[in-house]
């Protein structure tokens, strides 16, 4: 009897611990950004969106103009001048409402027209909801 209880406990532990580790793994978010004036409002908006996912996202910030930023760009093979790129779980391209979405450049309606991407903070939130299971 004791042996079967011990065996059941061991099996439950071996199944439960890995399941909890996977269930609790936060979404890895990497942000490459230019720390310049025109982008500051957009960065604040992005930080506000991320703040809604405490414990569900792990955000790393890489300033384009620093050594760490340069090393990160080399790792990601970024060679062009781009004010902002967001990766989530290693991906840069996502489906939002049936459309392919890349979180690069300024959000739509922000910053210089030439550097505007085709995404909004609401799009960013939709993807994070999908990745974190938040409703």
Residue 109, H or E segment: none
Class of domain 26-132: alpha beta
pTM reported for the whole predicted model = 0.77
Q: What are the sequence ranges of the domains in the chain?
A: 26-132
Residue by residue, pLDDT tens for the chain (135 residues) are 555 554 444 343 444 444 433 456 899 999 999 998 888 999 999 999 999 999 999 999 999 999 999 999 999 998 888 889 999 999 999 988 999 999 998 776 565 565 666 789 999 999 999 999 876
pLDDT at 16: 42
The single-letter DSSP state of residue 39 is: G
């Amino acid at each position: 009897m004791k042996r079967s209880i011990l065996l059941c406990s061991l099996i439950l532990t071996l199944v439960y611990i890995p399941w909890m580790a996977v269930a609790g793994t936060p979404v890895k978010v990497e942000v490459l950004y230019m720390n310049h004036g025109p982008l500051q409002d957009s960065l604040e908006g992005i930080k506000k969106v991320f703040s809604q996912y405490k414990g569900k996202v792990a955000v790393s910030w890489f300033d384009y103009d620093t050594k760490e930023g340069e090393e990160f760009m080399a790792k990601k093979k970024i060679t062009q001048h781009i004010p902002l790129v967001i990766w989530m779980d290693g991906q840069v391209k996502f489906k939002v409402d049936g459309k392919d979405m890349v979180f690069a450049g300024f959000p739509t309606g922000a910053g210089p027209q030439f550097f505007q991407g085709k995404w909004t903070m609401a799009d960013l939130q939709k993807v994070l909801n999908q990745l974190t299971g938040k409703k």
